[in-house]
Amino acid sequence: MSDSTATPMASDALVVFGVSGDLAYKKIFPALYGMCRDGELDVPVIGVASSPWDIEQLRGRAKESIANHGADSDPRILERLLPLLRYVSGDYNDPATFAAIRQALGDARRPAHYLAIPPTLFPTVIKGLGAEGLATQARVIVEKPFGRDLASARELNRIAREVFPDDAIFRIDHFLGKEAIMNILYFRFANSFLEPIWNRNHVASVQITLAEQFGVQGRGAFYESAGCLRDVIQNHLFQIVALLAMEPPAYRGFEAVHSEKASVLRAMRQLQPDDLVRGQYAGYRDEAQVAKDSDVETYCALRLQIDSWRWAGVPWYLRSGKLLPQTVSEVRVQLKPPPQKLFADSAPADGSSNYLRFHLAPCSSIALAARVKRAGKEFTGEQRELLVIEEEANIDSPYQRLLADAMSGAGALFAHEASIEAAWAIVQPVLDHPHPVRPYEPGSWGPPEADALIAADGGWHNPQAAC
């Protein structure tokens, strides 16, 4: 699937704001290395940060990052990447910083500006780029979270549009660059057998779990400003819901996909406090830079309704949290049992029946659970999974894919303004009037109240990390 518009001009430089930060160290330098390895990067890369580094310190940081977080570290590729790096040290509030960026860009006239910085600095940097004339023919790549509520998202969109045209604004969500997430869209619409059953008549419920075995890992200050609802649910999991629930696009173009995803988000009912369970793991308040009386959630479980012709009455259950038993992401689409119990065991006692399972991480697979007869005279059977696909090795990292796409002007895998604002509108009531957080033990699947939320539909199905 591709857009029908003319091929845009590629960026002739990449400016990385926040190049000394944790995101650049863990994700961006390895992505740049992969782009260089695959022939996708041969233009200047200007790192910008407040750290008083020189170019050798930046290159040293890049080498260390690639050695620790890259898939490989080939000296020949490093010899191509490191000379592309340049560095500007400065304060984002100082116009002289942006003048120095202009000088570092040299002859480049179509830079892509990547804001790998705290969200509070997005408006400052965007306005600074506009004031220095660095937005002309340029692109801006904005990290999540895009706003922290509906009002701030609208304001940030307004500021970005004042400086950059719509098609030059790339709102990055690395989840959308994952192979397993892209395959949800492909699997749904490349196969005809799903369409007759992909609706309220045959789907009983949908569960989506994104679990992390680790805690906040020294990012207490960030988590105090975000929490699980803003950090994971409003963006990552809502995007997965949109891909699963959207109608077929009207034409072969990603603008049609974005339109249908936005329609799903607009059809979601606004969350009310009783639709959401917020949890906080025991010991979170002892983390560095976390308030001793913090009410920030490290876990969320919620029940969604989509008021559309296809999905009316089907509950969608989403959950995500830290310090859970495993690091794993999975979607389970539970199908309704056969309308008549022809065989004694065709409707299992636990209420489960056939389901479709998208295992998203740590590995990728798609499986269909179906009942098959056991050998012998008796008509009894068991439910088995039929594995449909497994992830191939050596695929691009999400950040490599997304950075390369943004620099080439391909907006397919990026969140759009309409979807972002619609998603914030869904969660706004529970941001304004949340129930208090419920405690849960590290290593558990969250607070007991989350089980009550889904009890009517058979409870949570806890995924396994192995495919």
Catalytic machinery residues:
236
Provide long-range contacts, Cβ within 8 A and 24+ apart, for 426-429.
426/234, 426/238, 426/265, 426/268, 426/269, 426/270, 426/271, 427/229, 427/233, 427/234, 427/271, 428/149, 428/150, 428/270, 429/270, 429/271, 429/272, 429/273
The candidate with the shortest Cα–Cα distance to 238, out of 173, 179, 334, is 173
Q: DSSP assignment of 38-98, as one string?
A: TT---S-EEEEESS---HHHHHHHHHHHHHHHSS---HHHHHHHGGGEEEEE--TT-HHHH
Question: From residue 378, how far is each of 291, 303, 342, 343, 381 by CA, in Å?
Answer: 62, 40, 13, 10, 9
Give helix 122-131 / helix 95-105 axis angle, nearest 10°: 60
Q: Alpha-carbon dihedral of residues 134, 136, 141, 143, nearest 10 degrees?
A: 60
Q: Are 176 and 283 in contact (CB under 8 A)?
A: no
Amino acid at 334: Q
Rounded-to-integer distance, Cα 232 and Cα 210, Å? 8
Task: Please name every residue paired with 115 in a beta bridge, in sequence order, or none if there are none.
Answer: 17, 142
Rounded-to-integer distance, Cα 41 and Cα 12, Å? 9
DSSP symbol at 120: G
Q: Are 176 and 445 in contact (CB under 8 A)?
A: no
Q: Are 298 and 321 in contact (CB under 8 A)?
A: yes
Distance of CA 67 to the CA centre of its chain: 25
Residue with tokens 């994104």: 210
330-359 burial: b if 16+ Cβ within 10 Å, else e: bbbbbbeeeeeeeeeeebeeeebbbbbbbb
Residue ranges in 358-434 assigned as alpha helix (H): 398-408, 417-432
Task: Please name every residue paired with 439 in a beta bridge, in sequence order, or none if there are none.
Answer: 280
Q: CA 235, 241, 244 angle in degrees (round to 5)? A: 140
Q: Are 242 and 265 in contact (CB under 8 A)?
A: yes
